[in-house]
Amino acid sequence: MAQIEIFARTEVGCVRGRNEDRFLVLNLKNGDRSLQPRSRIHQLGPKGTLLAVCDGMGGAAGGDVASTIAADTLAAEIRPHSPFASMDAAQVALLDGVREANRAILRAGERDASLRGMGTTVTAALVFGPELAIAHVGDSRAYLRRGRSLEQLTSDHSVVGQMVAAGRITAAEARKLENRNVLLQALGVMPKVGPELVTATLRAGDILLLCSDGLTTPLPDEEILDLLLRHEDPMRCCRALTEAACAAGGPDNITVVLARFTGDGLEIPLGREPVAFHRRQVTVG
């Protein structure tokens, strides 16, 4: 039977005083959020697995609170939707989770003046059978490694990300800009939010990477791919990625979630089959 081997890791980095990132690994079949050895392999069935990275913002205004609310709300809202009969059902579940997370962060800020202005990115992936659905807001990222290639599935909801998408600058040029992390949207900022939905079909051997910009700011995609190729084991690879980001300066909190897909029930990619995915923007509130 097809299965997922999962691990996740978060580090404060070399500059920040505290860690405002949060990750979520949830086995929707039994509600297990543990990363103990017995819990790192999930069966790839209709019940599904939920993975997420949330990068809080707001500093003294509670970025860590916002990211924790987002992760916990996603888990609470999406689990009742399981099992998933179709991709449409999976996307409805993700949008419900994003909508409620946005509302929950806004409500927390209304109750506590010291938390007003907090927010968080979210990149949440729902895997069921061979299907992958992602809901994304902000500049955390989802990548899929297939063979020796790495595909960025999400786009950055930032000023610089928009310039790259429009072809005004290259990704390499974007890495050199000082204000590259100015976000266009995040959870907990406005009553309505426009998540990006991404869908794809997985193949045997694929590796899904979710990460905060604490990884992608200091490390170019080529170096990330090199580490993914050198370390097949998700636990060792998570450690290698976070340590490399720290060695490159670690300017922000660093969070990675890795999922490796193996076993019967997944098609083997044909030659150098590229990653085919679909991306669209919606609005929820």
The whole-number average pLDDT for the span 251-256 is: 96
**For all residues of the chain together, what is the average pLDDT?**
93
What is the SS3 string spanning the chain? Answer: CCEEEEEEEEECCCCCCCCCEEEEEEECCCCECCCCHHHCEEECCCCCEEEEEEEEECHHHCHHHHHHHHHHHHHHHHHHHCCCCCHHHHHHHHHHHHHHHHHHHHHHHHHCHHHCCCEECEEEEEEECCEEEEEEECCCEEEEEECCEEEECCCCCEHHHHHHHCCCCCHHHHCCCCCCCCECCCECCCCCECCEEEEEECCCCCEEEEECHHHHCCCCHHHHHHHHHHCCCHHHHHHHHHHHHHHCCCCCCEEEEEEEEECCCCCCCCCCCCCCEEEEECCEC
pLDDT(160) > 90? no
pLDDT(228) > 90? yes
**Window from 55-59, 166-170, 183-187, 243-247 with minimum mean pLDDT:** 166-170
Q: What is the pLDDT of residues 89-148, one digit of tens each?
A: 999 999 999 999 999 999 999 999 899 889 999 999 999 989 999 999 999 999 999 999
CATH 1.20.1290.10 fits 3-281, yes or no: no
Domain ranges of the chain: 3-281
pLDDT(261) > 80? yes
At 265, the pLDDT band (50, 70, 90 cuts) reads: confident
Q: What is the pLDDT of residues 176-197, one digit of tens each?
A: 666 667 788 999 999 999 999 9
pLDDT at 46: 93
What percent of the chain lies above the pLDDT cut of 70? 94
Q: What is the pLDDT of residues 13-49, one digit of tens each?
A: 999 889 999 999 999 999 999 999 999 999 999 999 9
